[in-house]
Amino acid sequence: MEQKDRKKISIVISVYNEEKALAEFYREARPVFDALAWEYELLFVNDGSTDGSRRILEELAAKDRRIRVIHFSRNFGHEAAMLAGLDHASGDGVVCMDADLQHPPECVADIIEKFEEGFEVVNMVRTRNRSAGWLKNVTSAAFYRVLNGISDVRLEPNASDFFAVKANAAQVLRRNYREKVRFLRGYVQNIGFARTNLTYEARPRVAGESKYSIRKLFKFSINTILCFSDLPLKLGIYSGMIVGFLGLLVMVNTIYEWAVHGTPNGYATIVVLLCFMFAMLFVIVGIIGEYIAILFAELKDRPIYIIHDTQNMEETEQTDQTAGEAARK
């Protein structure tokens, strides 16, 4: 059935507790993918789901050889799941998408068209996100503003975790972007290559709940800023200069009080200055601590993900270490 000369697209789908969405995803996406101009493989990465997702994926893999599944040993996060997908994708192009049908499967045909036109990186840009509340939309816009303001990278505000790369760009991502604190979507936009954007309208989640709480997103945003910018580290220099200047003002004022009235109010001045100085210092120490945490994670070099078992995959089980080494060769 398979024609050897046809190109193949690897569709990577990260799955974390998606038992309610998976069957629907397969039912709706299968006919769409069957009609694609390219051959395809569905690479599901089960990111340590604790619900029935594993069983559903096992059943799907048993009846469809084009479905390949990687099961992680525990939850490693969406970013790790996408990286595992990139590591194990064998196609001429790789698409990363969600399992909840928020990323319309129909878009894959347009992506292939772009690949055929010669583009190597396709960014999927959301026009509207009907399922996210206003708070998520506002904070997301603010986040991109800050990030673009303080780092030297330019990120598309509405880019999503829905993107596609050709094999050569995928190779760069899997070889050179294995940082422990990662923001894959940011790298996709900054590796160069012939890049284009496609727009899509994010649909409401087909079933289940979003795995990203506001708290998780906040943590994620802070990490991303630390990843892409070293401006916070320089905060110490700026605040030092500001505090020094304020100190100078206070000194002038103290001398004036002493010369005119003979009794400067030393106690109040000292308390105000101490509070101010310590607040500033602790914030800066905290920021440095965050960077050290990232350095520490990098230094320990623990695996980004650990594979428990796989289905319909020729290779034997491997952690990202061995996958990374293989990719570097």
Nearest residue (beta carbon) to ligand UDP: 210
Does residue number 92 form part of the binding site for ligand UDP (CB under 6 A)? no
Residue among 21 and 84 whose Cβ is closer to Mg ion: 21
One-letter amino acid at 141 equals A
Does residue number 210 form part of the binding site for ligand UDP (CB under 6 A)? yes
- By rule CB under 6 A, what count of residues binds ligand UDP? 16
Residue among 99 and 173 whose Cβ is closer to ligand UDP: 99
Q: According to CB under 6 A, which one of 16, 26, 44, 200 is a site residue for ligand UDP? A: 16
Torsion of CA 22, 24, 27, 33, to 10 degrees: -70
Q: According to CB under 6 A, which one of 81, 86, 159, 165 is a site residue for ligand UDP? A: 81
Please choose which of Mg ion, ligand UDP, none residue 92 contacts, taking the beta carbon within 5 to 8 angstroms, the exact cut-off set by kind: none
Does residue number 47 form part of the binding site for ligand UDP (CB under 6 A)? yes
In 3D space, the residue among 126, 298, 319 whose CA is nearest the CA of residue 226 turns out to be 298
Does residue number 11 form part of the binding site for ligand UDP (CB under 6 A)? no
Residue 212 Cβ vs Mg ion, minimum distance, rounded to whole Å: 8
Does residue number 88 form part of the binding site for ligand UDP (CB under 6 A)? no
Does residue number 102 form part of the binding site for Mg ion (CB under 5 A)? yes
Measured CA to CA, the distance from residue 107 to residue 198 in angstroms comes to: 9
Assign 221 to helix, strand or coil: helix
Does residue number 100 form part of the binding site for Mg ion (CB under 5 A)? yes
Residue among 105 and 232 whose Cβ is closer to Mg ion: 105
Residue among 129 and 229 whose Cβ is closer to Mg ion: 129
Residue among 80 and 169 whose Cβ is closer to Mg ion: 80
Residue 189 Cβ vs Mg ion, minimum distance, rounded to whole Å: 20
One-letter amino acid at 78 equals H
| Cβ neighbourhood burial of 239 (10 Å; 0-12, 13-18, 19+) | middle
Measured CA to CA, the distance from residue 190 to residue 169 in angstroms comes to: 11
Torsion of CA 97, 183, 114, 47, to 10 degrees: -20
Number of Cβ within 10 Å of residue 126's Cβ equals: 21
Sheet order of strands, 39-46 included:
195-202, 121-129, 159-166, 93-98, 8-15, 39-46, 67-72, 307-311
Does residue number 100 form part of the binding site for ligand UDP (CB under 6 A)? yes
Q: According to CB under 6 A, which one of 57, 67, 77, 173 is a site residue for ligand UDP? A: 77
Cβ-based neighbours of 68, under 8 Å, separated by 6 or more:
41, 42, 43, 44, 61, 88, 310, 311, 312, 313
By CB under 6 A, name the binding residues for ligand UDP.
14-16, 18, 47, 75, 77-78, 81, 98-100, 102, 210-212
